[in-house]
Amino acid sequence: MFTVKSLLKDWVSSRSMKSTFDWLDDRTGYRGLLKEVLFESVPGGARWRYVWGSTLTFGLMVQIITGLVLWAAYSPSSQTAWESVFYIQHEMTGGWLLRGIHHYTAQVMTILLVLHMGQVLIDGAYKAPREVNFWTGLILLLLILSISLTGYLLPWDQKGYWATKVATNLAGVVPVFGEHIQRVIVGGPDYGHHTLTRFFALHAGVLPVLVMMVIVGHIYLFRKHGITPAHPGKKKRRDGWFWPDQIFRDAVACLAVMMVVLILTLRHHGAELTAPSNPAERFPARPDWYFMFLFEFLKYFPGKSLIIGGLILPALAVVGFFAMPIVASKWPWGHKANLIYSGGFLFIFATLTAMAFNHDAKDKEYQFAKKIAQRDAARVMELAQSPEGIPPIGAVELLQNDPYTQGPRIFASKCASCHTYMGHDGMGKPQNEPSAPDLYRFGSRQWLAGFVDPDQIETIKYFHGTAFVEPDENGKKSRMVRFVKDLENLSEEGKAQLSKIVAAVSAQADLSYQEEMDAKDAALIQEGTDLFFEGIEGVDATCADCHGFDGEESEASFTPDLNGWASRQWTIDFTKNPSHPKFYGKNNDRMPVFEEEKIFTDKQIEMVVDWLREDWVRFASGDN
């Protein structure tokens, strides 16, 4: 119920507010400015086609706000950039959301720029006297694309590093000054800390300031010349007002843009972050989608002709757009020619973009490299979130010392010329002509059971292709092959005894994934140890006739000592020098003495062995 007191209070309050606004208007003249901005006549009435400029302004404001917040948590150095982005993405409250909004707003703004330019061209809003306004719009387009390009590097991950390296290499093809221009951009002879700091200065400082300056000029010129009617040749519609008619449409369009950005952000849980940049490891470099057409286009200009496709033709295309107002004013058919030119460029852009993605989808090498890159990215995230966290030297160290990711790489480059791992080279590529055993789960009961199987020992998984299956001068194969072949007609009791010996020898490997089984079968393993010396029913020879085991040494030479067989240290020592009397001795078949030939470093041997043994760091939250 209203009272005299409440009404008086409202009256005093309203008079106070009015006095405050009157004072503010007297000092600033804000009412006249609002009237000038809001109560502008819209020729032909408000239209949805006029919203693109407002959505671009909205997108830029979102970029500035989110960029400033991200800047507060970002550290632009080669040892902290990836780490700070990781912190934003995985540890800062709402960081993934902010980063996703910042990233996808930049993507959407590229589309909005094209739509805005299309509306301007179709409506003829670039013709006299709006030439300068059109040119400032083109400059804005180039500046915003430059901001996107410089921002690509800032996470300092593999994707951004290699894509930026490919893009900046184009500067090097400029005649005479190309190398100097590239050095200025890169900040030295190679990509590193100075490259990152220069791109950050451009992305967060120089380019945004230039964009704001050009926008001020663009809006001023737009206000000066007003809105170009959508269809000046047709019957004129009643004029409308910017407020509230057009601003309502602008607000709805901005809301729609924000909804699209949020959907993309939520769907991908922020923006992608690949593994830390590492110049020593190649990455399937690709630019962002709006530069993929140029990536495809450059394939048609190999070698020295790259300057034509990479610089001359793109520059001419840009000049063509800048020349549009002049073409339209000089010739009656100029406007139609401009529309045809723009449509042709858009068609070429769409066609080349589709071709680029189609080629990538069919490129097995690219898809393979992409899969490896995704595996590395997932692994480094797991390691970075471990209790040990990121070492002071930087996150790249996490992968460089990780057997799970480095082991298969080293195996593929050093071992896969002879060996396989599950039939491939360790990285997933098929190895069709192996000449040495497959080392998947080497040391396990499963591997050893296949090795002593008469039907398998001479197959491609074990001794096929080695000297051990080749007859000697007496027409005999190696002693081990002959021994295994003699097991062909074992009785059921003999097979059971052989299985116990396999369990006993495999237990020497001390494999983490077999630990529970070995503990459970302790009694069976002891029986197998006894049978190693006593022999198998129906077989004349015993394993101990050739091999040392269970602390005992063998008097036989040229056969591996099975004390600690396939354990970590045994495998490391064996890899370093298989010709040692403890292993193959002079019976060594082609396997290099790695410690003498310096094919491996000790660290590389250890990582390969740990990978083969599946002794890599695991965490409860990880999938590995």
Listed in sequence order, the DSSP H helices in 154-206 are 158-168, 178-186, 193-201
Alpha-carbon Rg for the chain, nearest whole angstrom, is: 36
Beta carbons within 8 Å of 466's beta carbon, 6+ residues apart: 435, 436, 437, 589, 590
Helix pair angle (81-90, 52-73), 10° resolution: 110
Does the CA dihedral 522-523-527-530 come out positive or negative? positive
CATH class of 57-230+241-285: mainly alpha
Q: What pLDDT is recorded for position 259? A: 97
For residues 245 and 142, what is the distance between their CA atoms, to the nearest angstrom?
Answer: 32
Q: What pLDDT is recorded for position 4? A: 55
Beta carbons within 8 Å of 499's beta carbon, 6+ residues apart: 449, 528
CA dihedral 486, 489, 491, 493 (to 10 degrees): 30
Strands (DSSP E) contained in 236-335 are 240-241
351: helix, strand or coil: helix
Token readout for 334 is 């100029």
pLDDT tens-digit profile of 265-276?
Answer: 999 999 999 999
For residues 378 and 399, what is the distance between their CA atoms, to the nearest angstrom?
Answer: 11
In the chain, which residues have pLDDT < 70? 1-17, 25-26, 30-46, 225-242, 556-557, 619-624
Domain ranges in the chain? 57-230+241-285, 400-612
CA dihedral 432, 433, 437, 438 (to 10 degrees): -10
Q: What pLDDT is recorded for position 221? A: 84
For residues 113 and 119, what is the distance between their CA atoms, to the nearest angstrom?
Answer: 10
Token readout for 346 is 């858009």
Nearest CA to 50 out of 112, 116, 113, 114 is that of 116
Q: What pLDDT is recorded for position 540? A: 87
SS3 content of the chain, % helix, strand, coil (to 5): 65, 0, 35
| Total residues belonging to the chain | 624
Q: What pLDDT is recorded for position 622? A: 44
